[in-house]
Amino acid sequence: MMEAVGSAQTLTDVSIELPGRQSGKVREAWPLSGGRRLLVTTDRLSAFDRVLGAVTHKGQVLNQLSAWWFGETSDIVANHVLSVPDPMALIAVDAKPLPIEVIVRSRLTGSTSTALLPRYLNGERELYGHLLPDGLKPHGPLGTILITPTTKALKGGHDEPISSDEIVARGLVDEILWAKVQAVALALFERGARIAADAGFLLADTKYEFGLDAEGELMLIDELHTPDSSRFWLVETLQRRLDEGLTPEGFDKEPVRLAFSAAGYTGDGTPPTLDPGVWQETSDRYVRLYEALTGLHFSPASLPAIERLTTNLAPYLGGEPTATTAV
Ligand SMILES: Nc1ncnc2c1ncn2[C@@H]1O[C@H](COP(=O)(O)OP(=O)(O)OP(=O)(O)O)[C@@H](O)[C@H]1O
Ligand SMILES: [Mg+2]
């Protein structure tokens, strides 16, 4: 039996009668036979390392956009995709994740404590083992593409910055593999930035996760170049906004982060309630970004989500699941 929680428009939780469920902030995952993994991307939105709300169509955009990008980059590195049986679900290779998140940046930006801009404005110049020059402008070019890794925090924790030297010294990833991961990350970023530019967006930064398959081979896992894992800025308005001292127009979750920040929220305690318009705008922008990047039309998946998922996932679950809709 499958059960879902959410509103009429959003899916915020889904439970399936399979053992071993692992809940991330955005995804629900279950191990499947044959070294596979079922990943369902919900509509939950996380920021400040916690879930703060739900965005209509978000799970579908993330799942389908990632699948599209994995296809566009499979010549650079192997990835975990096996099949996409539902707009919100992925059958993936169950990999052993590397214990770091690989963040790649071309711009001095960000609003969270691990981001570059707040620390740079605070006077810090040595960040993640890189020495930044004086005189860089907020949201402006870094002049080079930087890899700024973080540790992958356990549930409830916060990801912490870590330098390349520490990654190797602490034995989190061995030196040869880390060199390969960095080369792959830069190649992915270059590909992503080029495709984004063709669609009228600047890829300011992004996060990659890697894992090892059963043979110990490197593969790209999780999500790829989505508006959750990346900052995408509208090129059309970028220069004018920066000249006017405004923040870039982001087609990603940064506007939600900024709205929470503007309401005085820093990640602790009860989050403030945001204007519903912020959530609707985020949904519209996720869909617009999907269409611009892929050149595909976004067709919203049929509702209720749980009935659709039950049908589409039946071949992977064994037996005959019955649908129930809970709200
Ligand atoms: N192929 C895979 N094999 C093993 N683990 C994977 C694979 N793909 C993704 N994962 C892991 O599954 C989880 C995905 O869940 P989710 O994105 O919700 O988690 P999160 O990272 O806690 O949240 P957020 O993305 O907001 O930081 C991550 O921990 C990710 O490392
Ligand atoms: Mg994640």
The enclosing domain of 53 has a CATH number of: 3.30.200.20
Q: Which atom of ligand 1 is nearest to the CA of 94?
A: 3
Position 7 scores a pLDDT of 72
* Tens digits of residue pLDDT in 269-307: 999 999 999 999 999 999 999 999 999 999 999 999 999
Q: Is the same domain home to 225 and 133?
A: yes
For residue 153, how far is its CA from the centre of ligand 2 (angstroms)?
A: 11
Residues in CB range of 26: below 8 A, 6 or more apart? 41, 42, 44, 45, 46, 51, 59, 62, 228
Nearest protein Cα to ligand 1, atom 9 = 222
Q: Which atom of ligand 1 is nearest to the CA of 95?
A: 3
Structural domain includes residue 240? no
Contact yes or no for 230/207 (Cβ under 8 A): yes
For residue 245, how far is its CA from the centre of ligand 1 (angstroms)?
A: 35
Q: Is the same domain home to 106 and 227?
A: yes
Q: Is the same domain home to 137 and 208?
A: yes
Q: What are phi and psi of 218, to 5 degrees?
A: -70, 135
Nearest protein Cα to ligand 1, atom 15 = 24
Domain that residue 55 falls in: 2-95+276-317
Structural domain includes residue 82? yes
For residue 24, how far is its CA from the centre of ligand 1 (angstroms)?
A: 6
Distances (CA, A) of 288 to 72, 278, 282, 296: 19, 15, 10, 10
DSSP 8-state secondary structure symbol assigned to residue 150: E
Position 230 scores a pLDDT of 97
pTM: 0.94
For residue 25, how far is its CA from the centre of ligand 2 (angstroms)?
A: 7
User: Amino acid letter at 31?
Assistant: P
Q: Is the same domain home to 108 and 202?
A: yes
User: Amino acid letter at 245?
Assistant: G
Contact yes or no for 208/77 (Cβ under 8 A): no
- Ligand 1, pocket residues at CB < 6 Å: 24-27, 29, 37, 46, 80, 92-95, 97, 209, 211, 221-222
- Rounded to 10 degrees, the C-alpha dihedral 116/41/255/100 comes to 0
Position 147 scores a pLDDT of 97
Segments in the chain below pLDDT 50: 320-327
Structural domain includes residue 7? yes
Distance (Å, rounded) from C-alpha 246 to C-alpha 139? Answer: 10
Distance (Å, rounded) from C-alpha 140 to C-alpha 236? Answer: 15
The beta strand positions in the chain, using DSSP E, are: 2-6, 11-16, 22-23, 27-32, 36-41, 44-47, 50-54, 81-86, 89-93, 96-97, 100-107, 126-127, 130-131, 141-147, 150-151, 201-212, 218-221, 230-234
* Tens digits of residue pLDDT in 140-189: 999 999 999 999 977 767 788 999 999 999 999 999 999 999 999 999 99
Last residue of a domain, one of 233, 266, 293: 233
Q: Which ligand is nearest to the CA of 51?
A: 1
Nearest protein Cα to ligand 1, atom 6 = 222
Position 1 scores a pLDDT of 62
How many independent structural domains does the chain possess? Answer: 2
For residue 255, how far is its CA from the centre of ligand 1 (angstroms)?
A: 22
Position 322 scores a pLDDT of 40
Distances (CA, A) of 168 to 8, 40, 151: 48, 33, 12
Q: Which atom of ligand 1 is nearest to the CA of 80?
A: 1
Q: Is the same domain home to 76 and 190?
A: no
Pocket residue to mutate for ligand 1, from 26, 51, 77, most atoms within 8 A of Cβ:
26
